[in-house]
């Protein structure tokens, strides 16, 4: 019994290390074969539509609400120190540095990542991928790579849209509702937020998250057990793994970027 548990533990570890190796090989395969899909840019445009444009509503709505909540909460705390005018700084910095990239990526993982996994997994289950190979069409170049680049392109744009909507939400609450001075809100924000330090780093973060989420989603779909249950498990794994990856990567990137 005890030996059984230990051997199962060992097998799980070996399995997950093996999967990581296969995933790295899969990523290399995408990167080396994506030249064809860049030549047929229409394929990438279609994927930007399905992962970017269709995620726009959830990004806009949640960005607005996150910004409004930050405005309300920040105002109550800053008011105690008599510095409610710094609300713009608080809202802008927390959105641009952390919440924009992270929350947008989490939403992207559950909205677009799960869709990618389900789609690719179903293609595998119904043997469409094998059929393509039979017709000498490379499924990596035709199916996987366009989805990868579509996600990598969409993610930074979605994060930027999230941040700007959130800042506008904070502005509506702070200035319109609670009566902070309009000029102080924007001027303090502008003097505290740095373009290279904060905004460019936020864009880099969201690019890294987009890369990670789409890679995980595509791999889970491509590697799914070709049954109905296998697809459902793969979809769940995509959301769980990419959420954890986003949070862990965010810690690492933050430690590198904002030490000063």
Partner 1 sequence: MERTLLDFWVGLFVAAGLAALFALALKVSNADSFGGGAGYTVTASFDNIGGLKVRAPVKSAGVLVGRVSDIRFDNKTYNAVVTLRLDSKYQFPRDTSAAIMTSGLLGEQYLALEPGADERNLKQGDAIRITQSAVVLENLISQFLYNKASDASSSSPEDAQHPGAKP
State the residues that interact with partner 1 by CB under 8 A. Answer: 42, 45-46, 48-49, 52-53, 56, 92, 96, 154, 156-158, 160-161, 163-164, 167, 186, 189-191, 193-196, 198-199, 203, 260
Residue with Cβ nearer partner 1 (121 or 156): 156
- The least distance separating partner 1 from the CB of residue 142, rounded to whole angstroms, comes to 18
Query: Quick one: CA dihedral 78, 82, 83, 85, positive or negative?
Result: positive
Cα distance between residue 31 and residue 45, in whole Å: 18
Residue with Cβ nearer partner 1 (116 or 158): 158
Residue 140 corresponds to which tokens in the numbers above?
């990596």
Residue with Cβ nearer partner 1 (52 or 169): 52
Beta strands in 6-51 (DSSP E): none
Cα distance between residue 97 and residue 82, in whole Å: 25
Q: Distance between terminal CA atoms of the chain?
A: 53
- The least distance separating partner 1 from the CB of residue 74, rounded to whole angstroms, comes to 16
- The least distance separating partner 1 from the CB of residue 98, rounded to whole angstroms, comes to 14
- The least distance separating partner 1 from the CB of residue 158, rounded to whole angstroms, comes to 7
Do 241 and 220 meet the contact criterion of CB atoms below 8 Å apart? yes
Residue with Cβ nearer partner 1 (143 or 158): 158
Closest CA to 156 of 110, 88, 214, 116: 214
- The least distance separating partner 1 from the CB of residue 192, rounded to whole angstroms, comes to 8
From the centroid of its chain, how far is CA 244? 11
* Residue 241 to residues 33, 84, 104, 155, 183, Cα–Cα distance (Å): 25, 39, 16, 17, 43
Residue with Cβ nearer partner 1 (95 or 216): 95
Do 51 and 39 meet the contact criterion of CB atoms below 8 Å apart? no
- The least distance separating partner 1 from the CB of residue 163, rounded to whole angstroms, comes to 6
Residue with Cβ nearer partner 1 (25 or 46): 46
Cα distance between residue 172 and residue 71, in whole Å: 8
């Amino acid at each position: 019994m005890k030996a059984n548990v230990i051997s199962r533990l060992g097998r799980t570890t070996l399995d997950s290390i093996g999967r990581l190796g296969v995933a790295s090989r899969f990523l290399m395969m995408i990167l080396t074969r994506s030249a064809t899909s860049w030549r047929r840019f229409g394929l990438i445009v279609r994927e930007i539509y399905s992962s970017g444009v269709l995620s726009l509503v959830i990004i806009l709505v949640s960005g607005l609400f996150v910004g409004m909540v930050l405005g309300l909460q920040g105002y109550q705390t800053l008011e105690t120190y008599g510095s409610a005018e710094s609300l713009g700084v608080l809202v802008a910095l927390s959105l641009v540095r952390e919440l924009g990239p992270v929350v947008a990526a989490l939403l992207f993982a559950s909205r677009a990542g799960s869709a990618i996994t389900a789609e690719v997994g179903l293609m595998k289950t119904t043997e469409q991928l094998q059929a393509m190979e039979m017709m000498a069409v490379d499924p990596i170049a035709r199916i996987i790579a366009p989805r990868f680049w579509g996600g990598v392109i969409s993610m930074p744009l979605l994060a930027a849209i999230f941040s700007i909507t959130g800042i506008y939400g904070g502005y509506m609450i702070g200035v319109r509702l609670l009566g902070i001075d309009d000029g102080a809100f924007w001027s303090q924000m502008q003097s505290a937020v740095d373009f290279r330090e904060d905004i460019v780093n936020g864009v880099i973060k969201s690019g890294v998250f987009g890369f990670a989420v789409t890679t995980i989603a595509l791999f889970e779909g491509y590697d799914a057990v070709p049954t109905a249950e296998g697809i459902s498990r793969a979809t769940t794994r995509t959301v769980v793994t990419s959420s954890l990856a986003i949070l862990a990567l965010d810690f690492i990137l933050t430690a590198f970027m904002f030490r000063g």
